[in-house]
Amino acid sequence: MKNTKVIPPGIELIEAPSVWEQGYSGEGIVIAVLDTGCDSDHFELKDQIIDGYNFTTDDNGDRTIFEDYNGHGTHVCGTICAAKNDEGVIGVAPKARLLVLKVLSGQGYGDTKWVTEGVRHAKNWRGENGERVRVISMSLGGRENNPELHQAIQEAIQQDILVVCAAGNEGDGKDETDEYAYPGAFPEVVQVGSVNLRGEISKFSNTNCKIDLVAPGEEILSTYLNNEFAVLSGTSMAAPHISGAAALIIEQSEKEFDCLLSEPELYAQLIKRTVSLNYSRRFQGNGILKLASSLVTAKEDHKITAAK
């Protein structure tokens, strides 16, 4: 695997290569990943990490060590922005940067307080050159509707950060029953459900009226611990496809519109690139992300015609 260069099929499915061909790869866009940390020595990711912080009790609570002892966070990071090189795999936005915020321990669990602190850290973080977080990616969830976490997310969104969350994996394959996992079920976030590589809704994917869109979440190939790769499934794998895609959309749209996108404008550009599937909106929201579906229409938004 280390001697091959692979575009994972999920990244093909959302048509990311068509955006790369247009010259966009998410360059310089900072995405905060709140997860189990990241393998900072992985050859696909080590140059993508701009900063990191540990909110957990791992490593005796040393805030400077955000290593991943689980694999989940490293897998998510790879889908977002594994480097474009002659080895391994490539992520959706291979030139985006990662702010790794470790809010889940090596066992894969965390305290809601850690997640809340992570969101606030992402909102307030600034890089050495004034960089700021544009997207927060959370492939995590729980049953608790925590007001403090909700408020932290609302504050981040008010600062024009797009918050992308996995829908959760408690689905029963029926759209008449609702399953909610937080923070995904908060109305302000982008809640991402899962489809398989054939574009069919994953049975495990939570269904509810707040699903925004779906992305590939089954048999997803990405980076793993110790310079390895793994195939994992879950809405945790679907969400980072959207987080990486948001970086591509930011880079493309802000160049074409010559202005910074607000969070509502970025959300609109994201949803504009969805294609409805033959499912209830409780399954699919607005549909599956297809990045090429809007490549030729972006500039048309700003056309002006003479008054008659």
Catalytic residue among 25, 39, 58, 72: 72
Q: What pLDDT, on the 0 to 100 scale, is given for residue 277?
A: 96
Distances, alpha carbon 129 to alpha carbons 201, 250, 277, in Å: 42, 19, 42
Catalytic residue among 25, 35, 150, 222: 35
> Which has the closest alpha carbon to 79: 38, 117, 51?
38
Give me the mean pLDDT over the 25-31 stretch.
98
Catalytic residue among 222, 236, 253, 294: 236
Overall CATH class of domain 9-294: alpha beta
- For residue 2, pLDDT over 60 is answered with no
DSSP per position, 101-160? EE-S-TTS---HHHHHHHHHHHHH-B-TTS-BEEEEEE---BS---HHHHHHHHHHHHTT
Interhelix angle for 72-81 vs 235-257, to 10°? 30
- Whether 236 sits among the annotated catalytic residues: the reply is yes
Kindly report the length of the chain: 308
**Residue 250 neighbours by CB under 8 Å, 6+ apart:** 26, 29, 134, 135, 261, 266
Q: What is the pLDDT of residues 102-143, one digit of tens each?
A: 999 999 999 999 999 999 999 999 999 999 999 999 999 999
Q: What is the pLDDT of residues 55-88, one digit of tens each?
A: 999 999 999 999 999 999 999 999 999 999 989 9
- Whether 241 sits among the annotated catalytic residues: the reply is no
Q: What is the pLDDT of residues 10-21, one digit of tens each?
A: 999 999 999 999
Report the distance separating Cα 113 and Cα 149, nearest Å.
Answer: 8
- For residue 5, pLDDT over 90 is answered with no
Report the distance separating Cα 147 and Cα 163, nearest Å.
Answer: 16
Side-chain-side CA neighbours of residue 302 (13 Å): 8
- Whether 51 sits among the annotated catalytic residues: the reply is no
Residue 286 and residue 215 in contact, taking contact as beta carbons nearer than 8 Å: no
Beta strand 228-232 with 220-224 is: antiparallel
